[in-house]
Amino acid sequence: MEFTALSNATQLGSFNPLRTNLQSSTQHFLPFSYASFPSSSRRGCSCKAVLSTHTPTSTHNNMFGPRSIDFELSALTALSPLDGRYWSKVKELAPFLSEYGLIYFRVLVEIKWLLQLSVIPEIVEVPSFSDGAKSFLEGLIDNFSVEDALEVKNIERVTNHDVKAVEYFLKHKCQSNAEVAKVVEFFHFACTSEDINNLAHALMLRETMNSIMFPVMDKIIKALCDMAKDNAHVPMLSRTHGQPASPTTLGKEMAIFAARLSRERKDLSQVEIVGKFAGAVGNYNAHIVAYPDVNWPHIAEQFVHSLGLSFNPYVAQIETHDYMAKLFHLLIQFNNILIDFDRDVWGYISLGYFKQTTKAGEIGSSTMPHKVNPIDFENSEGNLGVANGGLSHLSMKLPISRWQRDLTDSTVLRNMGVGIGHSLLAYKSTLQGIGKLQVNEACLSEDLNHCWEVLAEPIQTVMRRYGVPEPYEKLKELTRGRAVTKESIRDFIKGLDIPEEAKSNMLKLTPDTYVGAAVELARTVENVVNTVIGIKI
């Protein structure tokens, strides 16, 4: 189950924002001279950070003082590890959640709005476009490139307004098509910047979840289902409060996490991704003055639906972001469950229940050669914590805006990629860790054989059935604070005044057979997960 377009939505085609075939044009349609930009600006931005020397106050300070270096942005100098150390693991998010992605979706919304205006009969100033003009406009979307995005950024250096820069970019691009050039002033018609931005952000999130996040979530859930089925019959000592407790199976414990994560994944896919398109304060003020006979609320609803989004009719200047808060809260919950899994597996590795496959050349500890550290689960846990910190701020802040709008949401929304990026990084670490696990059945069996006291529960329960007085107290006296062995348990059972058949069944019990319905629960979890999610993983 994915975020999908509404039934009456028109097809946008497949989003593929990373295009590289830029066609240059010497014409421009800007309220300033594009040629006046410095040549370096027209080529793109050059990011540098300068470390300047200072006069040391002592020899000690000079030992650690910085040298004068011009740093250019690279994987080594990036401030965010997502853009540096971990870039190769999260770069598939860049077409959607980067500055490039935001500009791409702004371009898409502006062009789609102009196309929408061309089919409204009352707006005679924008006649229906020919197939050639439509193809030209759609081509600006389909062929949008990194070079195009840099051109928008260069325009923004003059306008100091990012959305207006997109409008001017499109006016400039459309001068090469005579039909579209006649109506370029209808780009951004009656729009406030947030009409464009909120739809761009909605599309960024929808495409990110559908294209990147849901598939990797499904891989985790599938891996856990496989672990559950493969280890359904492997008995394992439970530990409640860290102490030996009634046995389970390793597969059943993995099944719990598969089921938990599948519910959150389902809820995430059912969040309505919402958009608004109602002008400066949500009332279509300018629209109605310009064209009073047009049913603008209906047009806006149609337009938002055509992008595959749900429509929010009650807004001020900005879309209220309530759906974003819900989405990010659910991501936090998915991440919390995964933290729980990471910590449990970390503990099982510590107990020896899992071994980890080694890779030639890898080092576990810089000083202890024998170590194979559970670094994948530790990395996952750490990144999930970072992700949840960012997502928590987004979910708590975004629904709050002073009066009809303030600008705090704008800068915060630029950080969507941080929380989602660290989540993706963590998911991949968890998957990598799962791929290294090898079950150590000998260790699991040894633990069970040292804990015959766990049979106190079924024995006292059967004693209750047959009316033996004070069964709990008798087992407490036998087991609590004492060494319990196979022999002492069996001697106790033989002395019970209960039917011989019941006594015989209890004498057959061992810690590794006392697992209840765990085997069946583990074996069938994939069917349950598929039913919850609504697709076969």
Told to judge if 365 belongs to the known catalytic residues of this protein, a careful annotator would answer yes
Question: What DSSP designation does 118 have?
Answer: T
Residue 254: predicted pLDDT: 98
Residue 39: predicted pLDDT: 40
Residue 295: predicted pLDDT: 98
Residue 155 · residue 32 · CB < 8 Å: no
**90: Cα within 13 Å, side-chain hemisphere:** 24
Cβ-based neighbour number of residue 223 at 10 Å: 19
Residue 53: predicted pLDDT: 43
What is the token pair recorded at 508?
Answer: 């057959």
Residue 274 CA to residue 305 CA, distance in Å, equals 9
Told to judge if 54 belongs to the known catalytic residues of this protein, a careful annotator would answer no
What is the token pair recorded at 371?
Answer: 């170590």
What is the token pair recorded at 264?
Answer: 């959150």
The residue annotated as part of the active site, out of 241, 298, 366, 370, is 241
Specify the pTM: 0.87
| Cα angle, residue 194 at apex, residues 192 and 195 outer, rounded to 5° | 70
3-class secondary structure per residue, 299-357: HHHHHHHHCCCEECCCCCCCCCCHHHHHHHHHHHHHHHHHHHHHHHHHHHHHHCCEEEC
Residue 299: predicted pLDDT: 98
Residue 535: predicted pLDDT: 87
- Can you name the CATH fold of 195-359+370-440? Fumarase C; Chain A, domain 2 (1.20.200)
Instruction: Encode 360-383: b = buried (16+ Cβ within 10 Å), e = exposed.
Output: eeeeeeeeeeeebebebbebbbbb
Listed in sequence order, the residues at least 6 apart from 461 whose beta carbon sits closer than 8 Å to its beta carbon are: 471
| Cα angle, residue 527 at apex, residues 524 and 529 outer, rounded to 5° | 110
Nearest Cα to 198, choosing from 18, 416, 30, 5? 416
Residue 118: predicted pLDDT: 98
Residue 373: predicted pLDDT: 86
Residue 155: predicted pLDDT: 97
Same fold, 94-189 and 195-359+370-440: no
Residue 59: predicted pLDDT: 47
Residue 72: predicted pLDDT: 86
Helices (H), ranges, 118-161? 131-142, 146-159
Residue 510 CA to residue 487 CA, distance in Å, equals 11
Residue 7: predicted pLDDT: 41
Residue 194 CA to residue 223 CA, distance in Å, equals 41
Residue spans per domain, the chain: 94-189, 195-359+370-440, 446-513
At residue 275, the 3 state secondary structure works out as: strand
Residue 537: predicted pLDDT: 87
End-to-end CA, the chain: 10
The whole-number mean pLDDT for each consecutive block of 10 residues of the chain, a chain of 537 residues, reads 48 49 40 40 46 46 63 88 94 96 98 98 97 98 97 97 97 97 97 97 98 98 98 97 96 98 97 97 97 98 98 96 97 98 97 88 62 89 97 96 91 95 98 97 96 94 94 89 90 94 95 96 96 90
The residue annotated as part of the active site, out of 25, 40, 128, 365, is 365
- Can you name the CATH fold of 94-189? Fumarase C; Chain B, domain 1 (1.10.275)
CATH for 446-513 is 1.10.40.30
Residue 410 CA to residue 161 CA, distance in Å, equals 12
Q: What are phi and psi of 187, to 5 degrees?
A: -60, 135
